[in-house]
């Protein structure tokens, strides 16, 4: 049977591909250190798990409203009020099966065939694929390494056409970990307002910010920008709940209504038990969130200083998330590989360290290294990388 054109054009996830290869080597008995993880290595906090168990025993195992439980929406509304001083109504919130599902559903309801979405590079691997699945066209704007991978208002202006529907802003960023300042967001926002472009603000890493930096939502800068913005967020990264699959979108009521109608025909509703867990995540103690943030910051500072000492690597220091995104072009060249992808493949095969090639993020000279694992394993991985480069250059 012939597959639909929409899936034939999809590019497989580079993060899943490297993870599959690492698992294959592990299954064959090899000691592989995987640094491709896009999830915290901490378990979900105890009080959240207990809330899920209680929900099951209380009989909350049935369908819920398609857009999410009213109680959970209220907790999300409180979260916005406390963290960003933003006021939303329940009609402006939809709870989805993870933030990825929120993004997918959003693009399905706002894009017609040929509509363009501006995607800064480096980008999270699923943005362009989701745009394409909705019939849209990804338009890439390069965030230059010398500008901390961030795009400028001038670059944004140049990319706008009469088909431009939206721009994606991901801050803190996956894969770079960089954060847009309030002033940078304001300047980008003014361009969007002038051209009536929807802003898709992916804020999933907002709680993981380091070095005294601050996460600012572009929606909190003015009432006009709030109206022009759809915020995407969730509990996956902040509360170590990746497997629970609870994310949400907040913004214009008409868009949220359309997303809810579409979700009613695709997922019916987010998992009931997971929603009760998310209620506990937001209404309960936030100490586990801060404990995890501090642990990530400690790892970042130690591992970053170590990484930049390895020959062939240079790196913009991240300000959030839990990834390093070093430029490895020189490392690839000095070890005799034609490109970074080949270098990463050899590193996995020979040194048994799994990194994610930056080509999957629109940055072929870089690699993504997750520090969402123990310091012991991180040091061991860097030892192996250093030895690999040393042996290749010596030989």
Which CATH number covers residue 317? Answer: 3.90.1150.10
State the CB neighbour count (10 A cutoff) for residue 181.
14
Strands (E), 239-278: 247-250
Which of 254, 284, 314 is at the close of a domain? 284
Token duo for residue 157: 């202006």
CB 353 within 8 A of CB 321: no
Whole-number pLDDT of residue 395:
61
Q: What percent of the chain has pLDDT over 90?
A: 92
Share of the chain above pLDDT 70, in %: 99
58 in any annotated domain:
no
Nearest-10 Cα torsion for 191, 193, 195, 200 = 90
How much is the average pLDDT of 150-156? 98
Whether 52 is in a domain gets the answer no
Check residue 110 and give its pLDDT.
98
Residue 8 has pLDDT above 90, yes or no: no
- 87: how many CB neighbours lie within 10 A of its CB? 10
- Local structure of residue 311 (DSSP, 8 states): T
DSSP H or E run through 159:
helix 153-159
pLDDT for 255 equals: 98
Q: Are residues 296 and 319 in the same domain?
A: yes
CA distance 344 to 322: 20
CA distances from 53 to 16, 17, 261, 297, 349 (A): 31, 34, 30, 32, 42
17 pLDDT higher than 80: no
The answer to whether residues 106 and 157 touch, using CB atoms and an 8 Å cutoff, is: no
pLDDT tens digits along 233-281: 999 999 999 999 999 999 999 999 999 999 999 999 999 999 999 999 9
Which of 261, 284, 307 marks a domain boundary?
Answer: 284
> Is the pTM above the cut of 0.85?
yes
What is the tens place of the pLDDT at every residue in 82-106? Answer: 999 999 999 999 999 999 999 999 9
Spatial separation of the C-alpha atoms in residues 167 and 49, rounded to whole Å = 36
Categorize the per-residue pLDDT at 62 as very low, low, confident or very high, splitting at 50, 70 and 90: very high
Residue range 171-216, pLDDT digits in tens: 999 999 999 999 999 999 999 999 999 999 999 999 999 999 999 9
Segment 285-329, tens digit of pLDDT: 999 999 999 999 999 999 999 999 999 999 999 999 999 999 999
Domain that holds residue 310: 5-43+287-388
One domain, residues 271 and 292: no
* One domain, residues 262 and 353: no
pLDDT of 51: 98
Last residue of a domain, one of 266, 284, 302: 284
Does 27 share its domain with 81? no
CATH number, domain of 91, equals: 3.40.640.10
The dihedrals phi and psi of 250, each to the nearest 5 degrees, come to: -135, 135
DSSP element (H, E) containing 198: strand 198-202
Q: Report how many domains make up the chain.
A: 2
Structure tokens at 82: 């406390």
* pLDDT value at 339 more than 90: yes
- Are 122 and 254 in a shared domain? yes
- The 3-state DSSP class for residue 164 equals strand
Q: How confident is the model at residue 20 (pLDDT cuts 50, 70, 90)?
A: confident
138 and 83 both lie in a single domain: yes
Shared-domain flag, residues 20 and 82: no
């Amino acid at each position: 049977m012939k597959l639909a054109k929409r899936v034939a054009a999809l590019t497989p996830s580079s993060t899943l591909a490297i993870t599959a290869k690492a698992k294959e080597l592990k299954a064959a008995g090899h000691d592989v250190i995987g640094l491709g993880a896009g999830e915290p290595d901490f378990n979900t906090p105890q009080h959240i798990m207990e809330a899920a168990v209680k929900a099951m025993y209380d009989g909350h195992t049935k369908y819920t409203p398609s857009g999410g439980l009213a109680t959970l929406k209220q907790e999300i509304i409180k979260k916005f009020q406390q963290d960003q001083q933003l006021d939303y109504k329940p009609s402006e919130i939809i709870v989805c099966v993870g933030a990825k599902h929120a993004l997918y559903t959003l693009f399905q309801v706002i894009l017609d065939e040929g509509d363009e979405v501006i995607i800064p590079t480096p980008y999270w691997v699923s943005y362009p694929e989701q745009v394409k699945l909705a019939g849209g066209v990804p338009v890439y704007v390069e965030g230059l390494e010398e500008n901390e991978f961030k795009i400028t208002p001038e670059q944004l202006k140049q990319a706008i056409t009469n088909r431009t529907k939206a721009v994606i802003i991901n801050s803190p960023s996956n894969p770079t970990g960089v954060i847009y300042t309030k002033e940078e967001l304001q300047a980008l926002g003014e361009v969007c307002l002038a051209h009536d472009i929807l802003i898709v603000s992916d804020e999933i890493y907002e709680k993981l910010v380091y070095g005294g930096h601050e996460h600012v939502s572009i929606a909190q800068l003015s009432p006009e920008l709030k109206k022009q913005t759809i915020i995407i967020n969730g509990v996956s990264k902040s509360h170590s709940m990746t497997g629970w699959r609870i994310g949400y979108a907040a913004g214009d009521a008409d868009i949220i209504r359309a997303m809810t109608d579409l979700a009613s025909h695709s997922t019916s509703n987010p998992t009931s038990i997971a929603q009760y867990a998310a209620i506990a995540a937001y209404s309960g103690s936030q100490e586990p969130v801060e404990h995890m943030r501090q642990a990530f910051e400690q790892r970042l500072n130690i591992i970053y200083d170590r990484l930049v000492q390895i020959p062939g690597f240079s790196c913009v220091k991240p300000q959030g998330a839990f990834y390093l995104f070093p430029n490895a072009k020189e490392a690839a060249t000095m070890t005799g590989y034609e490109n970074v992808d080949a270098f990463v493949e050899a590193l996995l095969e020979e040194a048994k360290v799994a990194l994610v090639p930056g080509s999957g993020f629109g940055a072929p000279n870089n690699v993504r290294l997750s520090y969402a694992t123990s310091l012991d394993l991180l040091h061991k991985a860097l030892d192996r990388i250093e030895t690999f480069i040393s042996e290749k250059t010596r030989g």
